[in-house]
């Protein structure tokens, strides 16, 4: 079965409302094994909506609508779809009773125009809405279906889960399951060189997505049951693990900060941060994770050189001779943070986030990462190029989180140079 999602509302086109319904419905259709071909947004215009519905009906089996089921004159979805599916709307007394009860519960009388919401398809059907006044309705013509859901997510999601999804499940012969692998420290191009041949499979399928500071690989399998589809995804994921190794830092929704906090807790370790160009972003991402207080107690934002000296003990001579953006300062920042916090390990960042301040020797996008554990401090040069300030800061923070993850797990930091803290001329 093929499907399309059509979200109705001028406010969506203007960007006044975030379209979370499309994301929710897309994920739900994927879990049902229904192939989603298109997502579209159309304003409250009957002619444009009708044109879109007829086009979508001609190429897809199932049309899912959200919005446009209200009582006002510009709510035209139900009337338009009825016309396209050669159906008529009829007054349903039981729906009207539900609408009256809804208003009575709030101490109000039912406005006259809400009677419009009691009109349902003569050939199709409807589902009661316990959270609002607009019922979900469905149309059918031959092998083509249309399901219309109210726009508010608090109404749409329960209607979908309680009524629409079970109806569609009865007609489906397969399910889809997806598994997302999260990869850090390897760019999209390099990752594709390593695992590109694995993207040629038809079932399971795999696709790569570049994110800021990391790469995601989505594996999707189709099977008669969810258990079989999960097993297929897991088996195929092992092929990626074999090629990408510890660059795969996690799966699903957990980001680098989540994995870091879990790893630190499991190993009974703590981490401290020292930040210049990222201004506390690393600490912010760590403390956004529930339970982070068990593994994180100190975060130093040392934007000025004086702060680097006073809070982290960075050598004034190092600052004068090497400059704030240097491997020596990054190393001393990490070592200083670890010592001041009494932490098991520490990470530090100093760099040029732009858009100004860059030089030929130290261009915008140059960041030095320091990571300290035990008697060793690791230093790594990061070059992000002429990106936006926000992007450089986020990518640098991600690199620091990944370095901390690796130290906590006892893994090497690729491309980093290890210095002994007591070595002459180095921290």
CATH of the domain at 359: 3.90.950.20
Residues 158 and 187 in one domain: no
- CA–CA separation, 62 vs 165, rounded Å? 13
Residues 59 and 191 in one domain: no
- CA–CA separation, 183 vs 178, rounded Å? 16
Residues 39 and 152 in one domain: yes
Percent of the chain's residues with pLDDT above 90: 84
CATH of the domain at 225: 3.30.70.2860
- Listed in sequence order, the DSSP H helices in 151-255 are 153-159, 165-169, 188-195, 226-244
Q: In this structure, are residues 379 and 331 in contact, taking their beta carbons and an 8 Å threshold? A: yes
What does the block give as tokens for 229?
A: 């589809």
Residues 345 and 410 in one domain: yes
CA dist 282 to 62, 97, 130, 186, 246, Å? 45, 55, 44, 20, 21
Q: Residue 301 class from Cβ within 10 Å (0-12 exposed, 13-18 middle, 19+ buried)? A: middle
Which tens digits make up the pLDDT trace of 115-166?
999 999 999 999 999 999 999 999 999 999 999 999 999 999 999 999 999 9
* 361 sits in which H/E element: none
How many residues are listed for the chain in this entry? 427
Does 393 map to a domain?
A: yes
| Segments of the chain scoring below 50 in pLDDT | 424-425
Residues 281 and 215 in one domain: no
Give residue for tokens 């994770």: 289
Residues 268 and 220 in one domain: no
Count of structural domains within the chain: 3
Q: In this structure, are residues 399 and 369 in contact, taking their beta carbons and an 8 Å threshold? A: yes
Which residues, in sequence order, are bridge partners of residue 146?
A: 63, 139
- CA–CA separation, 308 vs 374, rounded Å? 21
Does 273 map to a domain?
A: yes
Which residues, in sequence order, are bridge partners of residue 136?
A: 127
What does the block give as tokens for 385?
A: 């190029």
Q: In this structure, are residues 332 and 302 in contact, taking their beta carbons and an 8 Å threshold? A: no
3-state secondary structure of 381: strand
Q: Give φ, ψ of 89 to 5 degrees.
A: -100, 135
Q: Can you spell out the DSSP letters for 166-179?
A: HHHHTT-S-EEEEE
Helices (H) and strands (E) in the chain, counts: 15, 18
Percent of the chain's residues with pLDDT above 70: 98
Residues 325 and 405 in one domain: yes
Which tens digits make up the pLDDT trace of 274-326?
999 999 999 999 999 999 999 999 999 999 999 999 999 999 999 999 999 99
pTM summary value? 0.74
Residue 34 confidence (pLDDT):
86
Could you count the other beta carbons within 10 Å of the beta carbon of residue 143? 8
User: Backbone dihedral region of 86: left (phi > 0), alpha (psi from -120 to 50 degrees) or beta?
Assistant: left
Full residue range of the structural domain in which residue 199 is found? 175-251
Indicate the residue among 151, 169, 187 that finishes a domain.
169
Residues 65 and 162 in one domain: yes
* Rounded-to-5 percentages of helix, strand, coil across the chain: 45, 25, 30
Indicate the residue among 152, 169, 186 that finishes a domain.
169
Give residue for tokens 């936006």: 388
CA dist 164 to 28, 148, 149, 179, 387, Å? 11, 10, 9, 25, 45
224: Cβ–Cβ under 8 A, 6 or more apart, which residues? Answer: 173, 174, 175
Residues 133 and 7 in one domain: yes
- CA–CA separation, 334 vs 338, rounded Å? 6
Does 277 map to a domain?
A: yes
Residues 262 and 243 in one domain: no
Residues 229 and 365 in one domain: no
Residue 176 confidence (pLDDT):
79
Does 427 map to a domain?
A: no
Residue 424 confidence (pLDDT):
42
Question: What is the distance between the terminal CA atoms of the chain, rounded to a whole angstrom?
Answer: 63
CATH of the domain at 8: 3.40.980.10
Residue 222 confidence (pLDDT):
87
Does 334 map to a domain?
A: yes
3-state secondary structure of 207: strand
Indicate the residue among 195, 229, 251 that finishes a domain.
251
């Amino acid at each position: 079965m093929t499907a399309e999602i059509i979200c109705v509302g001028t406010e969506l086109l203007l960007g006044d409302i975030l379209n979370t319904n499309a994301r929710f419905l897309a994920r739900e259709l994927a879990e049902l094994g229904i192939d989603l071909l298109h997502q579209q947004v159309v304003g409250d215009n009957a002619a444009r909506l009708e044109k879109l519905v007829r086009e979508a009906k001609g190429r897809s089996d199932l049309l899912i609508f959200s919005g446009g089921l209200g009582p006002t004159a510009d709510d035209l979805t139900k009337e338009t779809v009825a016309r396209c599916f050669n159906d008529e709307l009829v007054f349903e007394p039981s729906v009207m009773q539900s609408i009256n009860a809804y208003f009575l519960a709030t101490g109000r009388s039912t406005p006259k125009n809400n009677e419009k919401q009691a009109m349902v398809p003569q050939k199709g059907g409807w589902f009661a809405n316990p959270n609002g006044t607009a019922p979900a309705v469905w149309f059918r013509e031959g092998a083509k279906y249309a399901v219309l859901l109210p726009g508010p997510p608090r109404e749409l999601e329960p209607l979908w889960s309680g009524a629409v999804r079970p109806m569609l499940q009865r007609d489906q012969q397969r399910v889809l399951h997806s598994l997302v692998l999260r990869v850090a420290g390897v760019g999209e191009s390099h990752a594709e060189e390593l695992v590109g041949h694995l993207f040629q499979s038809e079932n399971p399928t795999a696709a790569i997505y570049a994110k800021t500071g990391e790469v995601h690989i989505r594996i999707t399998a189709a099977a008669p049951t969810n258990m079989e589809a999960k097993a297929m995804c897991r088996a195929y994921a092992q092929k990626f693990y074999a090629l990408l190794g510890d660059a795969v830092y996690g799966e699903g929704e957990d980001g680098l900060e989540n994995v870091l906090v879990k790893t630190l807790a499991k190993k009974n370790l703590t981490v401290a941060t020292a930040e210049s160009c990222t201004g506390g972003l690393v600490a912010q991402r760590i403390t956004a994770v529930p339970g982070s207080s068990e593994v994180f107690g100190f975060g130093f934002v040392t934007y000025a050189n004086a702060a680097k000296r006073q809070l982290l003990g960075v050598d004034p001579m190092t600052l004068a001779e090497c400059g704030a953006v240097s491997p020596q300062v990054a190393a001393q920042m990490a070592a200083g943070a670890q010592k001041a916090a009494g932490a098991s390990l520490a990470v530090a960042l100093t760099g040029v986030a732009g858009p100004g301040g860059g030089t030929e020797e130290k261009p915008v996008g140059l960041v030095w990462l320091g990571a300290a554990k035990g008697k060793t401090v690791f230093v790594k040069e990061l070059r992000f190029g002429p990106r936006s300030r926000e992007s450089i800061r986020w990518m640098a923070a991600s690199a620091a989180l990944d370095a901390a993850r690796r130290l906590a797990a006892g893994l090497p930091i690729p491309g980093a140079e290890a210095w002994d803290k007591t070595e002459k001329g180095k921290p």
